[in-house]
Amino acid sequence: MAGLRSFLMLSMLAMVTGCVSLTSSITSGLAEDLSRAILDNPDAETVRTGAPAYLILVDGLLARSPESVTLLSQAAALNSAYVGAFVSEPQRARVLAAKARRLAFRAACLGLDDGCALDSRPFEDLQSWLATTRSRDVSLLYAVGSAWAGWIQINSDDFNAIAELGRVKELMRRVVHLDEAYDHGGAHLYLGMFETILPPALGGRPEVGKAHFEKAIDIAEGRHLLTKVMFAENYARLVFNRELHDRLLNEVLEADAEQPGLTLINTVAKERAMQLLGSADAYF
């Protein structure tokens, strides 16, 4: 699930700014401005060294407004993104991922009608509840699903954690139904990842995943370069399609990284594309 880790940490950084529409408080506005500064920064090393201070700042804002749905969502996204990007110590990663998941669940409980206990209610009840959610709920549904997926990734050696992936899929499917263009088609990208984590013999559905990847690329009009990287890494490699793999990655390298709200993500995507092309001969 290494490719999922790369995607999770970047997509959750991008998702942070999508949460701010939930409230209009001054603290949320500050968090939005800082988040945009991160996303438009082409220097990943600067972000890496500055991220801990930003996490502490957001925690401080949350301490002042502990029931702010927006700040809870932002804190969840940032903690999960930081884990995926920079934390290599397993125990520390688990602690921070659990914190992110807890914050996301708290945001859902406060911000969604009957949005508590999403991880423990019977699966059929979860499906019935999701059917009652509306377009106004998309930001929170996506935030919860993203942080939850990050927690599963960190705990991928725990079958109890893996068993919760079905719930995350249901959340993302509902986001697609309500607003498939949200976060540059991010829910389609998640679903593409989920369907290509495993080979067909173990339950993977690569062709379903392929359709989700293609839809995400279409929605973002090719500006979200990480989509093509994940398409190449998770689908093209899974089905041993070297032609598709190299074409997608070369398109990423030739594209302009500077896009509003996507510059950091695209810069890192280019770095990953170079790595994947460099290892292609050995893989294929």
Extents of the domains making up the chain:
1-177, 180-284
Query: What's domain 180-284's architecture?
Result: Alpha Horseshoe (1.25)
- Output the pLDDT for position 7: 52
Q: Tell me how far apart the alpha carbons of residues 113 and 103 are, in angstroms, rounded to a whole number.
A: 17
pLDDT tens sequence for the chain (284 residues):
445 555 555 555 544 444 433 344 545 566 566 666 666 767 777 777 777 888 888 888 888 889 989 889 888 888 887 787 678 889 999 999 999 999 999 999 999 999 999 999 999 999 999 999 999 999 999 999 999 998 988 888 888 998 999 999 999 999 999 999 999 999 999 999 999 988 888 888 999 999 999 999 999 999 999 999 999 999 999 999 999 999 999 999 999 998 887 888 888 889 899 999 999 999 99
- Output the pLDDT for position 168: 96
CB atoms within 10 A of CB 124: 8
Angle between helices 2-16 and 263-278 (to 10 degrees): 170
Which pair of tokens denotes residue 155? Answer: 């705990």
- Output the pLDDT for position 101: 95
Stated pTM of the model:
0.86
- Output the pLDDT for position 17: 44
First to last CA, the chain: 19
- Output the pLDDT for position 35: 64
CATH numeric code, 1-177 = 1.25.40.920
- Output the pLDDT for position 173: 97
φ, ψ at 237 (rounded to 5°)? -70, -35
Q: Tell me how far apart the alpha carbons of residues 254 and 100 are, in angstroms, rounded to a whole number.
A: 35
- Output the pLDDT for position 110: 97
Tokens 């409980």 label which residue?
Answer: 109
Does this chain's domain 1-177 share its CATH topology with 180-284? yes
Cα 133 to the chain's mean position, in Å?
A: 20
Classify 131 as helix, strand or coil.
Answer: coil
- Output the pLDDT for position 156: 83
- Output the pLDDT for position 59: 86
